[in-house]
Amino acid sequence: MNDTQSLPLIAGLDPAIQIETKRLLASHLDAPVKPAHEGKRAKFWFEETQQNFVAALLDPERPVPDALTSHTARVPEKRFAVYRNNVVTGLTDALASRFPATQRIVGEEFFRAMARLYVTAEPPRSPLLMIYGDTFPDFIARFEPAAEIEYLTDVARIEAARTRAYHAADAVPLDAGSLLDIDESSLGGLRFVPHPSAEIVRSAHPIVTIWAMNAGELPLDAIEDWRGEDALIARPALDVQVRRLPPGGAVFLLSLFSGAPLAAAAAAALDESWEFDLSANLAGVISSGAVCRETLS
């Protein structure tokens, strides 16, 4: 399919972006069918029909595949449209339920138009819908019509991380008591294991505040002090929590997550911010459930 100029445009979105998305779509749908791993397996005629079927599902400009009919219309346009709608609307709905704050910021109409373009450009690669949309924040970052809302990508990153945290493996977080027994001289050598649910999103915008206001956790209000915030997303038990990290907190946690001992992580955090407060951060790390057990180096 080379005639991308003739494709329908979605109202309100830059035609250049839509043509680019259509080009992406065309390139993956028209890619030659990969040989199966099984080698000598004979190819069914129906495999080609399936290829035409899925290409037409995502692209309303393509004709209804020849192999299809109905007892009424010979070319069952409306009937095929039921499948088109199930696929595109179903996947758009899945994104809307995973990214509600993102939708609230841009409005439903804009969100659904953007999500539809993502669905056609990047359909799911797995039957696990819980992971669908992991690359949506990256798509938003490249999506020119949304570029003026500079913080939108980071809000979407928080929402994507929340779903991953929701489904992450269960693990018992470190409790404060277990640190009491440790000799003060060995504290600096402590290492921690990140909780399976824990993720950090760093932003140049007040992203935790913006997310909370659009997730119904804070009242919508003007933000007077517009400065960057880092988010910690974690699910120590069953509820996913989003916390704003204090100055140096993100570097401190990322160092700990990478396996650095406590003393080195604190030094890295102090490098990042002179306001870094080790005891407050350590207390915060424990109360957030972001780490599991400690090991002595």
What does the binding site for other proteins look like in residue numbers (CB under 8 A)? Answer: 33-34, 36-38, 41, 43-44, 46-47, 49-51, 53-54, 57, 66-73, 76-80, 82-83, 86-87, 90-91, 94, 123-130, 165-171, 196-197, 235, 238
C-beta of 81: minimal distance to other proteins in Å? 9
C-beta of 32: minimal distance to other proteins in Å? 10
CA dist 101 and 144 (Å) reads 19
CA dist 157 and 162 (Å) reads 9
C-beta of 215: minimal distance to other proteins in Å? 18
Q: What is the DSSP letter of 64?
A: P
Which CB sits closer to other proteins, 236 or 261?
A: 236
Which CB sits closer to other proteins, 100 or 189?
A: 100
C-beta of 43: minimal distance to other proteins in Å? 8
Which CB sits closer to other proteins, 213 or 234?
A: 234
Helix (H) or strand (E) holding 24: helix 15-29
Q: Is-contact 120 21, C-beta < 8 A?
A: yes
CA dist 237 and 171 (Å) reads 8
C-beta of 64: minimal distance to other proteins in Å? 8
Which CB sits closer to other proteins, 172 or 176?
A: 172
Q: Is-contact 273 248, C-beta < 8 A?
A: yes
Helix, strand, or coil (residue 296): strand
Instruction: Give the closest residue to 60 by CA, choosing from 76, 46, 40, 80.
Output: 80
Which CB sits closer to other proteins, 116 or 205?
A: 116
